[in-house]
């Protein structure tokens, strides 16, 4: 009965320790090497930087109006050769079609129709054998080596944006990598339905991956501030009311601490940190989202990790033991060892007694059987 009572008391004390444990235990996630690799965790030091204030707007890509040309014939006739189709990339002066003239001759004269510029055949209005006239357009050729990126800028933001203003432009259809460009000019008329004024940016398209009509996202730079503590946007996790950042533990390998932070401004790359971090803290960038939902993949508690790292025991909440706690812990271990020793002796005595009893019963049955 006393043994059961001791177990109950120890369990109650253990529960009390867990309820009053230091925040470090509750806010530390410890992974093993496999967990770190699976989450692809990367860290970066917190530092003060030049922070750029941006305006985020959406837009689309559009062909530059002056970059389209038309293929036509100077004489009437019919198409006897067709050497380009819609989607083909052509070079300036490349033969795209051959027209047989209606002028007399045996055979009738033939005229080669050459591309007026390099580009892509975006439309074709002609088929093989089709009659043609000088006033008829045969093909449309577009030079898309560069495109307009039109930003739909809300009218209240227009006064802070001038020609020459830089922007980071992302096109989701090609992966969202940033393209730097500057505002060339605004269009001549605003859109009264959306209360926006389109700003024209010119972006290169050497590999022809960009197409007119693609959605475009703009981060237009409107200001700069010096010495701003900021972290990459992917480091910020948690709900907007309680954002956190994971900081690499200075002491334990593969351990990360949830650090509550107060946020300031945010642009397309970085988020300003008002408080909660110190310069030089290693914050998790890549893998922070997965780490937010991780419960610890190593099966090692904070206490066990600290014991292994420091070579001495800690409390369950990770704090160092006081001299008194160490003395009590040593006494508990000695008492536990003594108890195990006594229990071992009792168990041995019980086994010996059981052996004598077994032998006595066996002898009794043997004697009784002989008498029969």
Q: DSSP characters for 119-159?
A: EEEEEE---TT-EE-TT-EEEEEE--SEEEEEEEEEGGGGG
- Choosing from 269, 290, 310, the residue where a domain stops is 310
126 found inside a domain? yes
Do residues 202 and 60 both lie within one domain? yes
pTM listed for this prediction: 0.67
Do residues 130 and 155 both lie within one domain? no
CATH number for position 181: 2.40.30.170
Distances 15 to 19, 21, 172, 315, 332 between C-alpha atoms, Å: 6, 10, 51, 13, 18
36 found inside a domain? yes
Do residues 133 and 158 both lie within one domain? no
Segment 184-230, tens digit of pLDDT: 999 999 999 999 999 999 999 998 899 999 999 999 999 999 999 99
pLDDT of residue 18: 35
- Integer Cα distance of 314 and 20 in angstroms: 15
Residues in the chain: 372
What would the mean pLDDT of 163-173 be, rounded to a whole number?
A: 96
Do residues 205 and 60 both lie within one domain? yes
CATH number for position 121: 2.40.50.100
pLDDT of residue 44: 93
Beta bridge partners of 125: none
| Residue 319, pLDDT above cutoff 50 | yes
Do residues 156 and 130 both lie within one domain? no
- Integer Cα distance of 219 and 217 in angstroms: 7
Do residues 59 and 195 both lie within one domain? yes
4 found inside a domain? no
| Residue 2, pLDDT above cutoff 50 | no
What would the mean pLDDT of 307-314 be, rounded to a whole number?
A: 54
Both tokens of 277, joined, read: 């971090």
The helix (run of H) or strand (run of E) holding residue 10 is helix 2-19
pLDDT of residue 357: 79
Do residues 175 and 60 both lie within one domain? yes
Do residues 30 and 158 both lie within one domain? no
Q: Where in the sequence is the domain holding 196, given as residue range(s)?
A: 55-64+145-224
What would the mean pLDDT of 333-340 be, rounded to a whole number?
A: 62
- Choosing from 179, 208, 224, the residue where a domain stops is 224
Do residues 59 and 156 both lie within one domain? yes
What would the mean pLDDT of 143-147 be, rounded to a whole number?
A: 95
Do residues 234 and 303 both lie within one domain? yes
Segment 42-56, tens digit of pLDDT: 999 999 999 999 999
39 found inside a domain? yes
304 found inside a domain? yes
Segment 258-307, tens digit of pLDDT: 999 999 999 999 999 999 999 989 999 999 999 998 865 455 655 555 55
Which pLDDT band holds residue 168 (cuts at 50, 70, 90)?
very high
Do residues 60 and 207 both lie within one domain? yes
Contacts of residue 370, defined as CB under 8 A and 6 or more positions apart, other chains included, come to none
240 found inside a domain? yes
Higher pLDDT: 285 or 372? It is 285
Residue-by-residue DSSP string for 313-345: -B-TTSPBPPHHHHHHHHHHHHHHHHHHHHHHH
Segment 8-38, tens digit of pLDDT: 333 333 333 333 345 667 788 888 888 889 9
pLDDT of residue 150: 98
Higher pLDDT: 328 or 78? It is 78
- Integer Cα distance of 355 and 116 in angstroms: 111
How many domains would you assign to the chain? 4
212 found inside a domain? yes
């Amino acid at each position: 009965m006393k043994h059961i009572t001791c177990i109950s008391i120890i369990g109650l004390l253990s529960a009390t320790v867990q309820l009053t444990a230091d925040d470090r235990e509750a806010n530390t996630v410890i992974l093993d090497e496999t967990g770190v690799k699976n989450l692809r965790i990367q860290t970066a030091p917190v530092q003060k930087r030049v922070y750029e204030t941006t305006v985020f707007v959406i837009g689309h890509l559009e062909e530059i109006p002056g970059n389209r040309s038309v293929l036509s014939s100077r004489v009437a006739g019919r198409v006897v050769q067709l050497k380009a189709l819609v989607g083909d990339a052509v070079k300036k002066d490349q033969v795209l079609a051959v027209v047989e003239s209606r002028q007399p001759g045996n055979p009738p004269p033939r005229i080669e129709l050459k591309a007026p510029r390099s580009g892509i055949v975006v439309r074709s209005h002609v088929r093989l054998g089709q009659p043609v006239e000088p006033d008829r357009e045969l093909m449309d050729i577009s030079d898309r080596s560069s495109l307009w990126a039109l930003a739909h800028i809300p009218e209240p933001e227009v006064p802070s944006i001038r020609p020459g203003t830089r922007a980071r432009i992302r096109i989701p259809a090609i992966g969202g990598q940033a393209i730097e460009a500057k505002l060339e000019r605004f269009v001549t008329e605003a859109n009264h339905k959306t209360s926006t004024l389109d700003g024209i940016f010119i972006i290169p398209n050497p590999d022809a991956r960009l197409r007119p009509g693609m959605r475009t996202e703009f981060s237009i730079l409107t200001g700069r501030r010096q010495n701003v503590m900021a972290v990459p946007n992917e480091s910020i996790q948690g709900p907007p009311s309680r954002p956190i950042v994971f900081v690499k533990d200075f002491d334990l390998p593969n351990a990360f601490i949830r650090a509550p932070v107060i946020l300031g401004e945010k642009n397309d790359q970085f988020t300003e940190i008002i408080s909660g971090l110190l310069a030089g803290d290693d914050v998790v960038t890549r893998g922070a989202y997965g780490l937010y939902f991780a419960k610890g993949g190593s099966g090692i508690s904070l206490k066990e990790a600290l014991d292994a790292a420091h070579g001495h025991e800690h409390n369950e909440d990770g704090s160092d033991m006081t001299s008194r706690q160490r003395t009590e812990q040593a006494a508990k271990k000695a008492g536990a060892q003594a108890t195990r020793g006594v229990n071992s002796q009792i168990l041995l005595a019980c086994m010996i007694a059981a052996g004598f009893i077994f032998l006595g019963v066996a002898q009794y049955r043997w004697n009784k059987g002989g008498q029969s």
